[in-house]
Amino acid sequence: MPRERGLEQDNVARLCGKPYPRHCPECGKVEVHPATIPYDAEVKHDGRLYRFHIPALQVNQCAACGETFFTNSTDDQISQALRDHLSLLSPEQIREALRALGLKQKELSDRIGVAPETVSRWIGGTHIQSRAMDNLMRLFFAFENVRSALSSTARDQNLGIIEPVRGPM
């Protein structure tokens, strides 16, 4: 069973440039090395549990006891695999779309109705947008009329409201 987020010492060691092998907190031996393993991920996102396969996940693994350790890099790989599995925009794609349209993060956040910090987290890769927000961003990036309709200066308070059809009484 992989040990998730239990590598504070190894993360510090990596930042300080400590080479492998590293100390295994499970068996106590200095046998932890980088490894690439197949991994069946289960990730809860948007209130649903998603299962998908990652053929080559980079982890740290103890050669002595076989214990597998997840690092921040491992978490990033799983997040990217989830984005790929759900066909969500990547942080780079969101950043590039904003650049191509000449928009700032704040302008996007104002128009789609989320906090500026939320857009920053999407672009920074620390948070994965919901499928609904991904769909809204795709429409926003693709269609000028959507960008115009969601403009804070031109927003029509009746936008999207459909009056009921009244038949003869």
* 8 A C-beta contact, residue 38 and residue 55: yes
Break the chain into its structural domains and give their ranges.
3-86, 91-149
How far is the CA of 98 from the CAs of 18, 48, 55, 107, 108, in angstroms? 39, 29, 32, 9, 8
Q: ∠70-12-127 over CA atoms, to 5°? A: 50
Give the residue from 14, 18, 1, 132 showing the smallest Cα distance to 62.
1
pLDDT for res 27: 96
Give the residue from 85, 146, 78, 159 showing the smallest Cα distance to 112.
146
pLDDT for res 153: 66
As given in the structure block, the two tokens for residue 16 are 């300080």
pLDDT per residue as tens, the chain (169 positions): 555 544 454 454 454 457 899 999 999 999 999 999 999 999 999 999 999 999 999 999 999 999 999 999 999 999 999 999 999 999 999 999 999 999 999 999 999 999 999 999 999 999 999 999 999 999 999 999 999 998 866 667 777 788 888 877 6
